[in-house]
Amino acid sequence: MSDQDRLTQAPEGAARDCRLADKVAWMRRSLGPRDEAIETHFAWVFLSGGRAWKLRKPVRRDPMDYSTLEARRRDSEAEVRLNRRLAPDTYLGTRPLTRGPTGELAIGGDGDIVDWLVEMRRLDRGRMLDVMLAGGRVTARDLRGVAALLATFYANEAPAVTDGAMLDARLRAQVTANHGVLTMLGDAAAGRLRDLQTAFLDEHRRWANERAASGCIVEAHGDLRPEHILLADPPAVIDCLEFDRNLRILDRAEELEFLALECGRIGHAATGEQLARDCLALLHDPVPVQLQRFYRSHRAATRAKLYVWRSSEPDDGSTTRWLATAREYLELALEAAALAGS
C-alpha cells in the first residue's frame, strides 16, 4: 500500500481499539509546563510550544458526524482548507496520530493510524479581538485591517445563491426550524419572534431578490465571533464552521450582523457596528438598515436554538446556565426583530 493509500484508507478497527482517553492522556504527557490542554464540546485542543493540535471527539450530532476515523480525516482536511481562506499562515495541515506495534503513540509515525490531528500555529490569545476589547487596546488601524480582510474575502467568494426565491425559502425554513426548538423554552416569546420575522419576509421579498441577484450570498466563515479574530499584522480569522457547507451559506451582511451582535454581548456594540459598516463600505454594499436588523434577529434566534440544544448535553456548563443564555439570545432576537419591522 502506498503512503497516500495508508493515509486515506486507514482501518477503522485500530481507531476503535484506541480509546479517546488514551489519546488525550498521551497528548497531555507531551505538554510542557507552560502548555495547555483545552476541552471543547466536540474536540480537544493541545497548545504545545509553537503549535496547537486539534483532536476531534468521535461523536455524532446532526448535521455533524465525527463518529468514524474516515469522517474525522475528511473534516480535518476541510477545516484546514476552509480556514486557510482567512488564516493562511495559521493552518499548517493534518497529521495522523499513529500507534506502533507495542502500543506507543506518535504523531506521524509508522504504525496504525488511530486518529487525525489538525496542526496549527499557536496564536497569542491576548491578541484576539475579545481580549483586546476587554483591555481597551484595539486601535483604529486594527479595525481597518479586519474590515479590509473580510471585504477582500467576501469579494473573492463566488455567489452561492443567486435566486431570490431560493434565498427567501432558505430564510423561512430556518425561521421555522428555530421556532420549533425555541418553543422548548416554554413561553410565548418564540411565537412572537416567528410572527415578526415571517411578517418581515412577507413584506420585503424584493430585498431577498436584490441580495441574491447582487451576489451577496456566499460561502462565508459561518462563526464570525470576536474570539475568532486575531489582531495582528496581518490579521486573521480562525475557527470557521467547517462541518456543514449549508450552514456557511450566508448573506455577507448577515454574517457581519452576527459579529456586531457578539461584540454587543461583550459590551462593545459600537466596535461591532463599525466593523460591519466599514466592511460593507469597502464592498460598496448599501444594505437597508431594516434588513440588517432582521439579520441580527435571525442570528440571535439561531444562537438561542443552539444553546437550547446544548442544555441537553451540558459539558462545561449546566442546563440552567445554557437555558439562561438561550433566553438572553431570544430577547436580543425579539428586540432586533421589532426594530426591523418599525
Domains of the chain by residue range: 3-122, 129-340
What per-residue confidence (pLDDT) applies to 187? 85
Residue 32 CB-density burial (10 A; 0-12 exposed, 13-18 middle, 19+ buried) = exposed
What per-residue confidence (pLDDT) applies to 3? 44
Say yes or no to pLDDT of 315 above 70. Answer: no
Say yes or no to pLDDT of 303 above 90. Answer: yes
What per-residue confidence (pLDDT) applies to 60? 84
Distant-in-sequence contacts of 273-280, Cβ < 8 A, 24+ apart:
274/143, 275/143, 275/146, 275/147, 275/150, 278/143, 278/144, 278/147, 279/147, 279/150, 279/151, 279/154, 279/252, 280/252, 280/253, 280/256
Fold annotation for 129-340: Aminoglycoside 3'-phosphotransferase; Chain: A, domain 2 (3.90.1200)
Tell me the mean pLDDT in the region 250-273: 98
What b/e string do you get for 68-89 counting C-beta neighbours within 10 Å, with b at 16 or more?
A: ebebbbbbbbebbebbebbbee
Residue in 173, 197, 208 with CA at minimum distance from that of residue 341: 197
> Global pTM?
0.92
Q: Residue 29's Cα: distance from chain center in Å?
A: 29
Taking the alpha carbons at both ends of the chain, their separation in whole angstroms is 65
What per-residue confidence (pLDDT) applies to 13? 60
Say yes or no to pLDDT of 286 above 60. Answer: yes
* Set of cell numbers at residue 313: 448535553
Q: What is the mean pLDDT of the chain?
A: 93
What per-residue confidence (pLDDT) applies to 2? 43
What per-residue confidence (pLDDT) applies to 63? 75
What per-residue confidence (pLDDT) applies to 5? 53
Our CA angle for 253, 247, 79, nearest 5°, is: 105
The amino acid occupying position 196 is L
* Collapsed DSSP state (helix, strand, coil) of residue 48: strand
Say yes or no to pLDDT of 10 above 80. Answer: no
* Residue 332, C-beta contacts closer than 8 angstroms, at least 6 positions apart: 261, 265, 296, 297, 300
Q: Residue 274's Cα: distance from chain center in Å?
A: 21
* Set of cell numbers at residue 47: 497548545
* Set of cell numbers at residue 60: 455524532
What per-residue confidence (pLDDT) applies to 6? 53
* Rounded distance between C-alpha atoms, residue 322 and residue 162, angstroms: 36
Tell me the mean pLDDT in the region 55-62: 87
Give percent above pLDDT 70 in the chain. 94
The amino acid occupying position 288 is P
Q: Confidence class of residue 310 from pLDDT cuts 50, 70 and 90?
A: confident
